Structure 1
């Protein structure tokens, strides 16, 4: 690949356009050869990503790369919604990752070949360049995500933004007010704000908390538990004061370090049980089966209540 073109692509976060290639003397046919040789990936007509960057990227990171590539050929465009969320480095869950959504110089929404362009925002402070390209702020991005895909999907990004202190909840509320939402859009945002929890440290924890809420359980996040000898553990969730719910997203216990971690986790759980807690451990697959989680929780709560009744009787 032409070194000048390679340097330009790297300076733009690993992306380039057909027009930029032409400035370096690389024709459309030359770009096709680079794609066939595995040096470039075509992510949309006229938009390319360096193959190394694309291969190394996770799905949400690929959306960010695709967005950068498309924006490189559209002066004045502003990333919006899930694309802005991806550019801000926030997680996405339950959202299609193929479409590029931009604010542009249009009077009505236009969609074509995986690109949707919506009218520009007139709100002062709604757009920033902190991602290296123009994008709506994290607060506006999660509100747009919420109105497009619902509060469940948006809550994942909002929890992460709050936990990393990229936004505060009042900024999200202000963004929603500036967008003059009404009807179902307003209801979705109100639900997102009500359920947000900056204590959640991962996508799995946010999804676990949301599932527990759907099952009718009020869960407190990141609760520190101690006994007469001092601190025992900080647990992901505490339900009804005696049911500990832990989300295990790794499940990697191979090798010496893995076995040591497993042994330490067992000692931790044994100590919690000796204090009268029931421990429910969930993994990714459990989150796809609410009925399974409901059964585990029902048994745990029943056990706690039965033990409490027996103590009262004695």
Structure 2
């Protein structure tokens, strides 16, 4: 798919052998530091490896793992997620998630974490030439194993349509319910249903989705998402969160908000920050208060709890 960054430059020793070529030069290159062994029998130029962020490195590793395997298992769960581009909260796994038959059972084997399933062939697609659970099945699997806030981040991303400027695969809530039925989800059905029912494609970023899930878990009232605000000069913008009863606007300020804005507009990050400050001044002039928080606050829910309580938002909980 054109929106999924390509996997390039991986050399497989097994493919060299098919053409009677020697793989020892790649092993020597790895010893010199000119190549990186990203999986048994799979090498990537060191310059390419160093140019990738941690998520991209892991994505190359999982594709290499299933490609190099004689059985070519289907990537699933978090490994499938990184291939699809689904945002994940928390550290990436060290192992590669793949499907396994019910008879063999769930287990860790070498570099693989094998997840037993009754359906090894349903909802499978091919990306980068390797089998991967479909987008809808991947979201269901994540909802089964991830904490609720992390599952919401993945689900919100999946149901949010792509745009011309930012294309991405997407599905609908109906697709997810269909997958629950097709996969005959019984164990964990309540857990999956909770995530699906909470999903909202209006969340504009992983940070906003994580914030929304934490706001719910911390006992605060549900906010209105992407509320439009205007003044005499016209459109001010769309607030991430809006509690009309309490006249409170909530804004998640991830660094990506400014770096992406600078990239899209051609302005510097400092220019974007100044423009954001002017935008907030216009919002405050209308009467609402504005509460802002960062990634660090979402990683420590007590911090977000204190911030919103001090902003005047009531919670059904005494403490976080």
TM-score range normalised by the length of the shorter chain: 0.7 to 0.9
Post-superposition Cα deviations, 1:150-198, rounded to whole Å, max 9, x if no partner, equal 3322222211111135111111122122222234x21221121122111
TM-score by length of structure 1 reads 0.81
Cα offset for 1:146?
A: 1.8
| Residue in 2 that maps onto 1:227 | 231
CA contact (8 A) 1:143 1:172 kept: yes
Aligned: 1:144 with 2:141 = yes
SS in 2 for 1:180: coil
Shift of the 78–124 alpha-carbon distance from structure 1 to 2, 3 Å rule, reads closer
CA contact (8 A) 1:245 1:280 kept: yes
How well do the aligned residues superpose, as a CA RMSD in angstroms?
2.8
Where does the alignment leave 5 or more consecutive residues of structure 1 unmatched? 1-10, 304-314
Give the total of aligned pairs. 291
Shift of the 106–298 alpha-carbon distance from structure 1 to 2, 3 Å rule, reads closer
2:193 to 187, 190, 194: 190
| Residue in 2 that maps onto 1:178 | 182
Where does the alignment leave 5 or more consecutive residues of structure 2 unmatched? 1-5, 163-169, 315-320
Shift of the 53–202 alpha-carbon distance from structure 1 to 2, 3 Å rule, reads farther
2:73 to 70, 77, 88: 77
Cα distance in 1 for partners of 2:160, 2:313 equals 33
Cα distance in 2 for partners of 1:118, 1:269 equals 48
Shift of the 291–103 alpha-carbon distance from structure 1 to 2, 3 Å rule, reads closer
Post-superposition Cα deviations, 1:186-211, rounded to whole Å, max 9, x if no partner, equal 12211211221111222211111112
SS in 1 for 2:241: strand
| Residue in 2 that maps onto 1:247 | 252
CA contact (8 A) 1:60 1:92 kept: no
Q: Aligned runs of 1:194-209 on 2, under 5 Å?
A: 194-209=197-212
Cα offset for 1:143?
A: 0.9
SS in 1 for 2:104: coil
Shift of the 13–207 alpha-carbon distance from structure 1 to 2, 3 Å rule, reads same
Cα distance in 2 for partners of 1:214, 1:77 equals 36
CA contact (8 A) 1:79 1:134 kept: yes
Cα offset for 1:147?
A: 1.4
| Residue in 2 that maps onto 1:298 | 309
Cα offset for 1:12?
A: 6.2
Further displaced range: 173-182 or 245-254: 245-254
Cα distance in 2 for partners of 1:105, 1:31 equals 35
Cα distance in 1 for partners of 2:300, 2:41 equals 42
Cα distance in 2 for partners of 1:234, 1:176 equals 34
Q: Aligned runs of 1:23-102 on 2, under 5 Å?
A: 23-27=18-22, 29-74=24-69, 75-94=71-90, 96-102=92-98
Cα offset for 1:46?
A: 2.5
Cα distance in 2 for partners of 1:56, 1:164 equals 29
2:274 to 263, 288, 295: 263
Cα distance in 1 for partners of 2:45, 2:183 equals 36
Aligned: 1:287 with 2:309 = no
Further displaced range: 139-148 or 40-49: 40-49
Cα distance in 1 for partners of 2:34, 2:253 equals 38
Specify which structure has the bigger relative contact order, considering alpha-carbon pairs within 8 angstroms and separated by 6 or more residues: 2
CA contact (8 A) 1:213 1:219 kept: no
Shift of the 259–117 alpha-carbon distance from structure 1 to 2, 3 Å rule, reads closer
SS in 2 for 1:78: coil
SS in 1 for 2:268: helix
SS in 2 for 1:68: helix
